[in-house]
Amino acid sequence: MPSTQYQLHLKGVVGGYDFDRNYVDYVLSRYEDKPVNVLIDSLGGSLATALSIASAFKRHGDVTVHFVGMNASAATVASLGAKHITMDASAMYLVHKCSAQFFEWGNLNADQLAQLVDQCEDAIRDLTKLDNNIAQMYAAKCSKPQEKLLDLMKVGGWLNAKEAREWGFVDEITDLGETKPVLTDAVASAMAAAGIPIPNVPAADKETAFARFLAAISSLFKSRSEEHAASDKTCTVDTAAGADDDQHTNQSVITKTQALMNQFLPLLGKVLNIEGFAVGENGSSLTLDQLKSVEAALSAKDKRIAELADELAAVKKSPADTSTAVVNEGTSDKHQPQDEVQQYVETCNQAQALYNLVP
């Protein structure tokens, strides 16, 4: 989970300064009613602290724990209150029976030894209760009989991520070397230009206006079978009188639009800083209705430009022309070659015109 943001990092000894239940309570209180991600990397420690943290996770209700490194004993118990538990593919997991510190040194008489035996028997009873309690918690997480968990705790031994998943201690194994594929605008545009179907994978960012435009453009490039089916439906011409004219008109529309697309899409890719946004030889796989729509939009744009030119000419012929004006010598009414800036502006206008065709 490389991109996950963790609100809690619990490392070291459970019950120590960096795995403290008071700090856990403080952080959880700051994220009340919000998801909390917890990173755990610990070989264990205080069972009392682990039980308290597990309870805090459960009360919060939306905690995800992720194990890295080697995790054992109380560290695994602390995770049992989480809603979801994940584990690195390289991490390790260990459960075992509870233990208590024991040390006795000196010379003991019979009465003192009998007293020590009684104390040991009391400790055995307490540890047995703790084992049963922890085994019950593990069993609830793993959905397995408590006896099986007690047997596993008695044997001990490290479990790898796969074994921990098979037992049910963790819900998911993650691999830091693998990332989920995302679809960027650049990749999608390149695939669309090559006629490759867009895969159903998450987008890299939230949908933008250009992403919607790109989706509409990509839908124009169909698979080979879809192209043939669409061709049969949209490119069939009537063999009756006038069919030759219709076919000639259709071919004219296709030729003009294909030429425009071959010129326009690479420029659009350059303007939008997207590589590979181009149409190959199969760019004419647009349906006839789509081609006619593009032709109509371009004709409307040209008509509007002509109208604006006429209006500008009329303004120049107004009485204001009698006033003194400064003109450049050698200018004529002939169309002057466009410089790079004018070509750039015209390209942007063409991009906007095609963008407006998308619903």
Query: What is the three-state SS of 2-59?
Result: CCCCCCEEEEEEECCCCCCHHHHHHHHHHCCCCCEEEEEEEEEECHHHHHHHHHHHHH
Most confident of 132-136, 228-232, 255-259: 132-136
Name 183's bridge partners: 203
Please state whether beta strands 84-88 and 172-174 pair in parallel, antiparallel, or not at all (unpaired).
parallel
**Residue 41 included in any domain:** yes
What's the mean pLDDT in 264-292? 51
How far apart are alpha carbons 112 and 129 in whole angstroms?
26
**Residue 276 included in any domain:** yes
| Percentage above 70 pLDDT, the chain | 56
For residue 26, what are its two tokens?
A: 């403080």
Q: Which of 174, 204, 224 is the last residue of a domain?
A: 174
- DSSP per-residue string spanning 162-203: HHHHHHTS-SEEE-TT-----B-HHHHHHHHHTTPPPP---B
Is 298 found in the same domain as 260? yes
What's the mean pLDDT in 7-17? 94
* pLDDT grade for 146, boundaries at 50, 70 and 90: very high
Is 251 found in the same domain as 106? no
**Residue 325 included in any domain:** no
- State residue 169's pLDDT score: 97
* pLDDT grade for 1, boundaries at 50, 70 and 90: very low
- State residue 240's pLDDT score: 44
How far apart are alpha carbons 211 and 61 in whole angstroms?
36
- State residue 158's pLDDT score: 93
- State residue 47's pLDDT score: 95
Task: Flag whether pLDDT at 225 surpasses 50.
Answer: no
**Residue 329 included in any domain:** no
Is 194 found in the same domain as 89? no
**Residue 333 included in any domain:** no
pLDDT in tens, 46-85: 999 999 999 999 999 999 999 999 999 999 999 999 999 9
Q: Which of 152, 174, 196 is the last residue of a domain?
A: 174
**Residue 324 included in any domain:** no
What's the mean pLDDT in 331-358? 66
Q: Which of 147, 174, 201 is the last residue of a domain?
A: 174
C-beta of residue 90 within 8 angstroms of C-beta of residue 161? yes
Chain Cα centroid distance, residue 330: 60
- State residue 236's pLDDT score: 43
Tell me the residue range of the domain where 107 lies. Answer: 8-174
**Residue 127 included in any domain:** yes
Q: Of residues 140 and 250, which shows the higher confidence score?
A: 140
How many domains does the chain fold into? 2
Q: What is the CATH number of the domain that holds 144?
A: 3.90.226.10
Is 194 found in the same domain as 77? no
Q: What is the pTM of this model?
A: 0.50
- State residue 300's pLDDT score: 72
Is 135 found in the same domain as 24? yes
Residues in CB range of 55: below 8 A, 6 or more apart:
81
Task: Flag whether pLDDT at 147 surpasses 80.
Answer: yes
Is 170 found in the same domain as 193? no
**Residue 198 included in any domain:** yes
